Every structure is written in C-alpha cells, then in structure tokens.
Homo-oligomer: A and B are copies of this chain.
Amino acid sequence: MKPLRCVAIVGVGLIGGSIGLALRRRKLAARVVGAGSRPATLAAALHTGAITEIAADVASAVADAELVIVCAPVDHIVEQVRAIARACPAGTLITDAGSTKQQIVDELERYATSDATWPAEVAFVGSHPLAGNEKKGPQHASATLFEQRTVVVTPTSKSKPTNVSRLHEFWSALGAKVLEMSAAEHDRAVALTSHLPHLAAAAIAGTTPEQFLNLTAGGWLDTTRIAAGDPSLWRQIMLANRGNLLPALDALLTQLAAWRQALDTQDGVELERLLTEAKRIRDSAGS
C-alpha cells in the first residue's frame, strides 16, 4: 500500500492502538490522529506512539483523513460513523472493527443512501479483525496484533470496488489475511467460532465453585481465558448477534445432550467417538 497521508482512529484501545502502532512501525501513515472519549487512554496511545496527535474532537480528527477506523463498542458504531461521515472530506473511506456486522452495515447503508447529511463522496465498508483477546486498553496494544490474523471485510452490493480494494490493501499492509464475505455470512460464522465459545467459557467459569479454584490447571485456564473479557462489550456483541447465537447455543446443547447420554449409559465407544471427532476438528485448526 502506498503510505497514507493521514489516518484517523476513533477509539484507541487494544484494537485501535494496535492499528496505530502497526501503521507507524510499517511507515504506512505520516499522521495518525486519535480521538476518543477518555483523555487518559488518548494520552497513553500518544505516549506509546500508536498515534501522532490527539484531536480535540471527532470532527477535527477526521477533517483531513483519507481513512477512518472506528474502534468502538458495537452499540456505538452506527451513531459514531454517522457523526464522522458529516465531518469527512470527499473521498474518505470509513471502516470499523466491530465483532458483529449485519446490523451495523445494514443501518449505515440505509443512512448513506437516505440521510441528506451523509456526503455523497464519503463511504463506509465494514471490517472485523479477528484479533482481539481478553485484554483491553492501549497498554496491551501491539504492532504485530494483525500479523497472520484474519480480517473479514463485508462489502454490500452498493460498495464501490475501489473502496473494497482500498480496505483489502490496508489490512493486508498490516500483515493480515483478508477475507471478503457478506455481513450475514460473517455473523453466522462468528456466532459459532467466537460468540458461542465466549458464552461457553463464561458459563464454565460461572459453574466453578470458588473453593475449587486452587484445583484448576492449564485446561481450565485455557478453556475459560476469554471469560475475562469486558462484560459490557460482550453483552452488546451477544445481543447484536442473538439471531445467530441462539441457534449456535442450541447446537451446543444438542452436542452436550449426546455427551450426557454417553456418560449416563457408560457408552465408552460413543464417548471416544465424540472425543476423537472433537480432536480431529481441533487438530485441523492450528495452535
């Protein structure tokens, strides 16, 4: 990617901060302007070099930006992107980093076509970098967070191919593998690969009596690790994708019923079949 003159990052926590660090490390942006609601977070991001300047407000952050990345909790993305679009110069591409896509993409497409304050030459195309973890804040940001990670880009039939290409190039330039799919397809898949594991990890942690925590080891710690994620962010994600998460949870409950049946009837053959099938899938996914 040809280095950008000015990129704005709205929300400089783990994801936004890591985008800034990667852009600077890879010399992909002369200016990285940060905006956000918490002065201490912005100061920390400036201190670590994730951004080159702090904007007084979102409008001034994006006033000169070729690309804007909105790294906000999913419930705030639509409203933030709408406010940002009004302040952008012609030609600006806006994207996000939200864990759910359909609701965000659908609403923004409606606004972009029907809202008179949305400038004709400003576009939004959704992104989801599959690179978060249980930590938060710019102090955990890393210039290598996106290397070899998947970023899903979710254009619609109305997205201009040049904007989709710009977004591909951007995430690829940060080291990511870019996948393109519809927002609906994305949400269906991540309900099973991200939101359901989060729910299950939290349910396992919630099932563990505290007096037994001294008997936990690597297995429990790995299996429940993401349950340490931010409860408010995850409430928003789960509710935004509940249409896909509910059937995913029902699929897990069906699986668990088969495990329960095998245990209850002491069916060692079936138990080993279930364990073997799980191992086969897990082994094919990497470490």
Residues of chain A whose beta carbon lies under 8 Å from any beta carbon of chain B: 130-133, 149-150, 152, 179, 186, 189-190, 192-194, 196-210, 212-229, 231-232, 234-235, 238-239, 242, 245-246, 248-253, 255-256, 259-260, 263-264, 266, 268, 271-272, 274-279, 281-287
Contacts and interface: CB of A to CB of B under 8 A. Distances in A.
Given A197-B219, A212-B189, A223-B223, A203 B255 contact: yes
| Residue from A216, A229, A242 with most neighbouring chain B CB atoms (10 Å) | A216
B225 A222 contact: yes
B255 A206 contact: yes
A150 to B, nearest CB: 6
Contacts of A132: 217-219
A285 B227 CA distance: 11
> What is the oligomeric copy number?
2
A271 B130 contact: no
B283 A231 contact: no
Nearest to A188: B212
A223 B221 contact: no
Q: Which 5 A-B pairs have the closest CB atoms?
A: A202-B278, A231-B275, A130-B217, A197-B223, A205-B278
Contacts of A224: 197, 223, 278, 282, 285
A254 to B, nearest CB: 8
A130 B209 CA distance: 18
A252 B207 contact: yes
A126 to B, nearest CB: 15
Contacts of A186: 215
A208 B227 contact: no
For the residues of A in contact with B, the DSSP-based class is helix
Nearest to A131: B217
Nearest to A272: B235
Contact of A213 (B149, B219, B246, B284): B284
Contact of A200 (B149, B212, B223, B281): B223
21 contacts: A132-B218, A189-B212, A192-B207, A192-B209, A193-B212, A194-B215, A200-B223, A202-B278, A202-B282, A207-B252, A207-B255, A213-B281, A223-B223, A223-B224, A224-B285, A225-B282, A227-B279, A231-B279, A238-B271, A249-B260, A250-B260
A234 B285 contact: no
A117 to B, nearest CB: 30
A186 B217 CA distance: 14
